[in-house]
A and B are shown apart, each in its own frame.
Chain A
Amino acid sequence: MTETTKTSGITRRNLLKSGAAAMAGAAVGSGAITGFPTIWAQNPITLRQFGTGVSNLNAIAEKCKEDLGITLEMTATDSDAAAQRAVTQPDSYDIADIEYWILKKVFPTGVIQPMDTSRLTYYDKIVPLFKTGKLLPDSVIAQGTAPHTVGFVESADSKEFAKGETGWFTMVPTIYNADTLGIRPDLVGRDITTWADIMDPAFKGKTAIINVPSIGIMDAAMIMEAMGNITYGDKGNMTTAEIDATIDFLIKAKQDGQFRAFWKSFDESVNLMSSGEVVIQSMWSPAVAAVRSKGIACKYQPLKEGYRSWGGGLGLAAHLQGAQLDAAYEYINWYTSGWVGGYLNRQGYYSAAMETAKEYMSEDEWGYWIEGKPAVGEIKAPDGTVMEKAGAVRDGGSFEERMGKVACWNSVMDEDRYMVRRWNEFIAA
């Protein structure tokens, strides 16, 4: 399903755009544009952004129009469709808003151009997690498609990822988070400390996992390792033998009646949890918030093995040049300059440029969302609804506690097709 969000009443298509590009190009050439930010309202520019939807937010497009005069046309798709569109219709978008594991598939086909880091105003403010893989100097690098492994290339026209930091950035990271299991603290009746707890016979018929193969297999891997059944070489890139072991284990658990259901969409996971059909399951953080907003206790339980993490960013389409490219850089610099970061942080995600986001958050918001401190007043979502009352503490604590304990990143495996086939067997078994 594809949903297109037009962010302004007027759609300026190619005719106007090429005219505007020529004018803006002339302006750049004559040195008329020197300061930052440039207001593009006089020379209307439209950027077409497509992506997986988490950060395709209307509020961002509206603010962008207001601050920069750039019209953003956003299209949301699911992740598989996003990967396909990125490769097969490279001229249909200017900005790709995709996850890092999708980038790993897409970048080698040459549809995304690397960014010159010297043109990124806030490059220095981007957290080291995306440059070295370590949030803190003593962090352990997580398995899977860690963003820094696909974050750089050697030169402007290189198709191969560089080993370390270079001046060419494949995507500017924008949004990321650490995922874990959601529980109903009122119904589990004991402390939940490890991924293995989802397999506890006490919860027989009261658990669920996500039925999206590329994510579900990672949750299963966390469970397998926590139970001591196996130690993976790399959870994010399993061998066929490791895939077999994992799927066979899941099939056995399913036949023993451990699972109540498998969910595919956000609202399914919310309903399973709030109706009490399930007491412990794979979950996304906004789903936990949605259950809680119904007045039902739900906790995003930190587990000792760590989190399964995901992250996305903005990439520039290869066809961008001239004024369009300038506008795209300006959009990205605006994106990382703080307003968007504060907005995302207040939704429970994380911004990649934390320092700039801090200026756009109140002290209490920063304390609750990022520092793991008890809320002083009510914590509100960007749309004004109350998310937490005074005194609440974020599950898992501070940014560093959560993102510092990432065990693996969402990823794409070399044996992808085999894994999907075996996953289908698990669902059919």
Chain B
Amino acid sequence: MNNLLTRATPYLQATPLLLILGFFLAIPILLLLVVSFWDYDFAGMYPDFVTFNYAETLGSWVTWKTYGNTLKFAAIVWAITAFLGFWVAYFLAFHVKTATMQMVLFLVCTVPFLTSNIIRMISWIPVLGRNGLVNSGLVGAGVIDQPIEWLLYSDFAVILAMVHLYTLFMVTPIFNTMMRIDKSLVEAARDAGARDWQIIWNVILPLAKPGIAIGTIFVVTLVMADFSTVQVMSGGQSASVALMMRNQMSLLQYPAAAANAIVLLVLVLSMVAGILRIVDIRKEL
């Protein structure tokens, strides 16, 4: 009896998490998978087993182009946020001397997050518009004759807004990992005659990799699933996978959107699996 209880304990302990993940993750995804094989018209969905939702999704050049476009956003935004995130975290972890100051500056980084991200995004519009702050400033200063058109409703605007929205997701995990780096390692490297850039390249960067990997997972999944930034900042001119799904849902084509969601899920999961293969993030935990 006692023996049985001992063996059952770990399962009992895992039960709450199992229930939560089961109800809020596994079942919804399973339903998504089931619905993606259903038939539909304007009025409803009909239980069936049809594959045309996938055939239409995968067979259309729009899907491929949209995925290409979304991956392009993900790659560019990742590169910029990783660069910025690394240096901001480096500054906080190694340049700022006192722990109090580090926490104060870190909290300053999070201040913009006290407002909704829709507001942070939309506030770019009056800045970047044809008659916006930047253009009227440049025209007024005589730098340019005509307002620059590509500042707003362009890929540039989308990437700018995404970098603004997502950089902190990179800063936080990298900062966290850097704080755990033993300062004596840096001193040892310096005693051994390493220059500053050699310390960063050979000591700090390798040790910060788990943080970069976690930040990467955040940024990549956020960008891949984004629709509002792309819709608002491109003025509806650019497409993303999530926006495509949203269009389908607003037309009540749920099975088509479900098929699309499954394809996206598979893609993002394989990207995350790839990241985890390259970097062992368990060192972080």
Contact = CB atoms under 8 A, between A and B. Distances in A.
Interface stretch (B26-34, B184-192, B196-204, B235-243): B235-243
B235 A261 contact: yes
A427 B252 contact: no
Contacts of A14: none
Interface in B245-283: 247-248, 250-253
Interface in A176-223: 205, 208, 211, 213
A244 B37 CA distance: 28
Contacts, number: 77
Contacts of B125: 271, 275
Given A84-B252, A260-B153, A425 B60 contact: yes
Given A275-B129, A277-B152, A428-B239, A421 B43 contact: no
Interface residues of B, number: 30
B105 to A, nearest CB: 36
Contacts of A78: 250
B66 interface: yes
B91 to A, nearest CB: 37
B44 A262 contact: no
A83 interface: yes
11 contacts: A81-B252, A87-B43, A105-B42, A109-B43, A261-B235, A264-B236, A275-B130, A276-B131, A416-B42, A424-B62, A428-B239
A272 B131 CA distance: 11
Given A263-B236, A264-B236, A427-B239, A80 B44 contact: no
Contacts of B56: 421
Contact of A88 (B43, B61, B231, B253): B43
A261 B153 contact: yes
Given A87-B42, A260-B153, A276-B130, 17 more contacts: A80-B251, A81-B252, A83-B42, A83-B43, A87-B43, A88-B43, A88-B44, A261-B235, A262-B237, A263-B235, A272-B235, A277-B130, A277-B235, A421-B56, A421-B60, A425-B61, A427-B247
Interface string B106-144: 000000000000000000011001110000000000000
A290 interface: no
Interface size class of A (residues with CB under 8 A): 20 to 34
A259 interface: yes
A54 B159 CA distance: 36
B205 interface: no
Contacts of A80: 42, 250-252
Contact of A261 (B60, B66, B69, B237): B237
B149 interface: yes
A352 B62 CA distance: 43
A120 interface: no
Nearest to B129: A275
A254 interface: yes
Contact of B235 (A87, A109, A260, A416): A260
Contacts of A320: none
B250 A261 contact: no
A205 B253 CA distance: 32
B195 interface: no
B244 interface: yes
B72 interface: no
A60 interface: no
Interface string A264-277: 10000001100111
A213 B252 CA distance: 13
A87 B45 CA distance: 12
A81 B253 CA distance: 11
Contacts of A260: 153, 235
Contacts of B44: 84, 87-88
A7 B279 CA distance: 59
B65 interface: yes
A420 interface: yes
A208 B236 CA distance: 10
A209 to B, nearest CB: 10
Interface in A401-429: 416, 420-421, 424-425, 427-429
Contacts of A205: 149
Contacts of B237: 254, 259, 261-262
Contacts of B60: 421, 425
A261 B69 CA distance: 18
A250 B153 CA distance: 18
Contacts of B152: 277
